[in-house]
Amino acid sequence: MAKVAVVLSGCGFLDGAEIHESVITLLALDRAGISYQCVAPNIPQMHVVNHLIGQPVAGETRNVLVEAARIARGDIKDLATVKVAEFDGALFPGGYGAAKNYCDYATQGDGCQINPAVEEFLVEMVKARKPVGVICISPVVLARALKGREFRPKLTIGTDPGTAKSIEIFGSKHIACPATDCVVDAELRVVSTPAYMTGRNIAEVATGIERLVQEFAKLLRA
């Protein structure tokens, strides 16, 4: 049975991993008969957001790995302790945590810096030709990780022109796509879907992620 890493950026769409996207991803993998291990970087969150009012909480701090453990029901590993060789592929659900904790794209845009462990993990996955699935805003993280390298995958974040431009600036190719579908780069073995970047409801998001996992599974078998 194939085993893949599901990389989480915390818990909660405003400051961590998008919970709907994460759970749909895990469910789709399980239904496809693909084993997974949740992992997350053991780092502080950029900030903590009160999801009831949508505003940052002054003076509060949380840890990405500890928060992601909520989604993983405690079965999670520190990204720094795992190796690409342990997995057959990797998936990255979205949520603002991808743009705040994996990197600082949320505040720095095209001039953002990326967490070295996240960058190394993504680059090594692509170099090893292991399938990578990136969801919602996570394609920006992959594009930033591959900036200046020979890999220029086709990616989608939906239709947002600003974020699409960033993907192009980082050296990747953006393809417009609805939330219910996905974009497959068969050559580089990368799959992406917009999810809540454009999805109007959880049903649309689920349709897109389920299709992504189906295409991801084909790449695992190829």
Cite the active site residues.
136
**Please, what is the Cα angle at 160 between 159 and 166, to 5 degrees?**
115
Q: 40 pairs with which residues across the strands?
A: 78
- Nearest Cα to 65, choosing from 20, 17, 103, 29? 17
The two beta strands, 190-193 and 132-135, are parallel
**Which two three-digit tokens encode residue 46?**
């950029």
Residue 91 · residue 142 · CB < 8 Å: no
